[in-house]
Amino acid sequence: MNASIRPGDGIDGVVLGRARAEVVQAMGEPLSVRRDAETEILYYPGIEVFLSDGLVGMIVADLSFSGSTPDGTHTGMSWSDLTRTLGSLRWDEEQDLWQAVDGSRVWYRVVRPLTEFEEPLDPPYVPERYGVHDPEAFVGDIFVM
């Protein structure tokens, strides 16, 4: 894994607090862009960059991202490996995501495969909230904000 996720700082060539022009300079033109009244989202392979008032406020690494944090956490990592690496995690109600109890500025969306009784989703995974009980649960996305 050659790309990096830096807690509280950035992912790959994208840094929190930087202007849109700096993101484009570092990453090139995005594959696509989505805008609403308050947010602009730049889509790159494996990364989504959320801008508010023209500045990077959040970066998300998805399952296709091939990097890791300094401690080795990465998308696709099993819940059991994540807890073995980080120790305890807590459910962050405000962010609706998991976070290491040390308060590092990295959050995790933990998901599990659909059961045969659930409707297909896109992506085809179900978020695990408040408690993770499925042995097949894994890290679907990593957030830096």
pLDDT digits (tens, 9 = 90+) for 128-143: 887 888 888 999 999 9
Residue 1's pLDDT is what?
45
Whether the Cβ atoms of residue 92 and residue 99 lie closer than 8 Å to each other: yes
Q: What is the mean pLDDT of the chain?
A: 91
Q: Taking the CA of residue 124 as centre, how many other CA atoms within 13 Å lie in the half-sphere pointing to its CB?
A: 8
Calculate mean pLDDT across residues 53-74. Answer: 95
What DSSP line would sit under 56-80, residue for residue? EEEEEE-TT---B-TT---TT-BHH
Residues in contact with 116: Cβ distance below 8 Å, sequence separation at least 6, in sequence order: none
Residue 64's pLDDT is what?
93
CA distances from 48 to 40, 42, 86, 118 (A): 10, 6, 24, 27
Distance CA 46, CA 32 (A): 12
Whether the Cβ atoms of residue 54 and residue 64 lie closer than 8 Å to each other: no
Give the dihedral sign, CA 28/74/137/100.
negative
Residue 125: pLDDT band (50, 70, 90) is confident
Closest CA to 54 of 41, 65, 69, 67: 41
